[in-house]
Chain A
């Protein structure tokens, strides 16, 4: 097995190199940076002068919230329209996703292209997407280049590809320099007070918080809190998994070599985690309201500065962290009240795996529907979008306006450009707000052949430019330049993430995932808020309740699916 995963790694790297190879060659062939590498691949479609295609407007429904617009009203969209003659009328979701998609399915009328987000299974089941295989073969050299390593995974049971996901990694994989995934966050003042110690284990982390809270009893600080609202409850159930040194695979921990998938909801790690929360609660350091607060109240507490620590995913608390930072930058707020992410594990010798490995999420994507008027033009537009040049355009914006290139060819943004792009309206006006995601794209963490990150947020220069002097100094105390350097490098996990595996409707495994959160919701609150001497009896009650659910069915299904996915990515 070990050899096989090694072979897989090699395989992936191999693909990456091949890509880089061809691209470099293209670049070499036409060194003119402006209309560089893609010109070669692109001549038939966009830049051919004699056959300038008729302008056309397609419809695109994107099942996430944003402002509706036509793409040619944005600067990037305008450039793309000049290349291809294609314009999109973009509509976004207002209200409930399932209702909206359900109405489309019931009426059998769709926009030309559709990004159904979480409702993609229903769309596929309704047969609303057309197969793309032949179209890609004929008109999609760039689509092939980007997605071919993943074709096996993208194929439905019938061997057809129905949609293009957003996570195909191109070039060398680069993790995010700032933390958008899980971490144990702690307030800067706590670290400062303790003299910036190296925090590695679970116990060290909580002792740090306890010490600080003990020294400042009169301030009525909250030691630790947790997010439990609605579907975001996983922020409270996932930590034991991370503490044991696994990345966020969802409900299961997958053995690296055998790919056996086991739930951790009732294992010793979860017990240890709850025991700690229970202990904190008994000492008055846990925020009891954690179990009743909604998401907004939770974010408000983070910005209040009263909370010393919490576990969460960066993308989930980003809003609150940015508010704190803006406050510090603009109104001389308090840098002490901002948070620092730590890769905490149960034991000192466990390797932390908070950062996502290169992953291919294939339960989201954009497809061409059966209602589409001219699939050929659309696929050509998609293909044109996937040139290096256009990826640079949609992710970075317009050169000289949204980003600069230094003499070594590194892309960066000036402070002014960074500040300007914090304004979402401006972002939309340029078109970055519409094109950076939900289109066929190089996945997050991809790199261009010239070594620049495809996603500006992952370019270390950009990340560092957004750090305040205080932040840089603090990172310096730990001998690192970005937050990501605090964390271990991710191991290769070909099936990752297991949470993106979709389960059969009405199956026992699916019923497990529907019922499990309810049991946990109920018992986590009881166990954590209960008296410490009742801990064991409540824990046993909880384990019993979970074991009444179809755990075995779920684990078996996950093990099979994980193996299947890993095998597919290896091309078997």
Chain B
């Protein structure tokens, strides 16, 4: 039974690894494998010696971490709040509204964000000015230091509702008898959350953390590309954009592959260490 799956795995997951050889060549399309020139580690050397690459790596890591932490905290918080709601109708409305932005494409979302943050009558500046916090509009997207924050908030706005679904599902598996017993023993609402709900979803949270750590270098491409501009370049450019600029746009496919290999290696290291750590601490693990 498992033979077709095994074939699929080999064909689509292992055979393409052959393409990694491109990273060690000066790859030219439409030339046969034998005609390619081999350059060893040249692409990697270019990458690591480029000062732009370090900035890009920093941005990628920073944005990932922000998304990682914010994503977990907000999704779990919202899931708990929703779980505590007794009015089903209200709960449904909140859930629907919070996960709708997930279905908007980033192109549209970026335009909404740009409009909201605009210095010419954008609502954020209007409100802040109305409240007297600032005296003239701030160019939110025009200052690098705000970029990570804006991106974090945008990601939360876009994905929080969607991310809560899995936690809400996990919470439904908790035996209601536990809540009743706790209530009889005199546990308050917060005590019930801390002693029943949170421990109840712990296995799910840990597995998700391990899985997501493996993708920490995948910050996505669209929001950074669409919201990025000259003034915030030093904070918005991530690995993907770097690859696009110096790899694809210059026709240097080898560099793109080299960067891809680098990402994969980092991801594997992170995944294994998280799994190992989890095992050592006697918690759930992936494998």
Q: Which residues of A are at the interface with B, using a C-beta cutoff of 8 A?
A: 98, 102, 105-106, 108, 121-122, 125-128, 228-229, 233, 288-289, 291-292, 294, 297, 505-506, 510-511, 514-515, 518, 520-522, 524-526, 529
Contact = CB atoms under 8 A, between A and B. Distances in A.
A233 B252 CA distance: 23
A505 B30 CA distance: 16
Contacts of A505: 250-252
Contacts of B231: 291-292, 521-522, 525-526, 529
A127 B142 contact: no
Given A108-B30, A127-B30, 4 more contacts: A128-B30, A289-B139, A520-B230, A522-B231
A213 B250 CA distance: 44
Contact of B230 (A228, A511, A514): A228
B249 interface: yes
Given A122-B251, A291-B142, A294-B114, A514 B245 contact: yes
Given A105-B29, A506-B250, A522 B139 contact: no
Contact of A228 (B114, B139, B229, B250): B229
A297 B113 CA distance: 13
Nearest to A525: B231
A524 B29 contact: no
A274 to B, nearest CB: 13
A292 B142 contact: yes
Interface string B137-159: 00101100000000000000000
Given A289-B119, A289-B120, A522-B234, A514 B229 contact: no
Contacts of B252: 505-506
Interface residues of B, number: 24
Contacts of A126: 29-30
Contact of B249 (A228, A514, A518, A524): A514
Contacts of A229: 229
B233 interface: yes
Closest 5 CB pairs of A and B: A521-B230, A126-B30, A525-B231, A292-B141, A292-B142
B246 A125 contact: no
B64 interface: no
Nearest to A521: B230
Interface string B98-128: 0000000000000000100011100000000
B263 interface: no
Interface in B210-249: 229-231, 233-234, 245-246, 248-249
14 contacts: A121-B251, A125-B29, A126-B29, A289-B118, A289-B142, A292-B142, A297-B114, A510-B250, A514-B245, A514-B249, A514-B250, A515-B52, A522-B230, A524-B230
A112 B142 CA distance: 47
Contacts of A506: 26, 250, 252
A108 to B, nearest CB: 7
Contacts of A511: 250
Given A121-B251, A289-B119, A506-B252, A522 B233 contact: yes
Nearest to B110: A294
Contacts of B192: none
B123 to A, nearest CB: 15
Contacts of B229: 228-229, 291-292, 521
B130 to A, nearest CB: 18
Nearest to A289: B119
Nearest to B42: A506
B30 A105 contact: yes
Contacts of A108: 30
Given A291-B139, A292-B142, A106 B230 contact: no
A128 B30 CA distance: 9
Interface in B7-55: 26, 28-30, 52
Nearest to A505: B251
B12 to A, nearest CB: 17
Contacts of B29: 102, 105-106, 122, 125-126
A518 B233 contact: yes
Contacts of A294: 114
B158 to A, nearest CB: 19
A515 B56 CA distance: 14
Contacts of B114: 292, 294, 297
B50 to A, nearest CB: 9
A233 B139 contact: no
A229 B233 CA distance: 12
Contacts of A105: 29-30
A98 B231 CA distance: 27
Nearest to B117: A292
Nearest to B122: A289
A294 B118 CA distance: 11
Nearest to B137: A288
Contacts of B52: 515, 518
Contacts of A521: 229-231, 233
B113 to A, nearest CB: 11
A289 B234 CA distance: 18
A74 B118 CA distance: 45
A292 B29 CA distance: 36
A526 B229 CA distance: 13
Contacts of B234: 522
B56 to A, nearest CB: 11
Instruction: Identify which of B29, B141, B249 gathers the most chain A CB atoms within 10 Å of its CB.
Output: B29
A215 B52 CA distance: 47
A266 to B, nearest CB: 17
Interface in B78-113: none
A514 B28 contact: no
A165 B249 CA distance: 23
A515 B52 CA distance: 9
B224 to A, nearest CB: 13
Contacts of B139: 288-289, 291-292, 529
A229 B118 CA distance: 15
A392 to B, nearest CB: 39
A525 B235 CA distance: 14
A68 B52 CA distance: 42
Nearest to A517: B230
A114 to B, nearest CB: 14
Contacts of B141: 292
Nearest to B248: A98
A510 to B, nearest CB: 6
Nearest to A126: B30
Interface string B245-262: 110111110000000000
B264 to A, nearest CB: 22
Interface in B125-184: 139, 141-142
Nearest to A107: B30
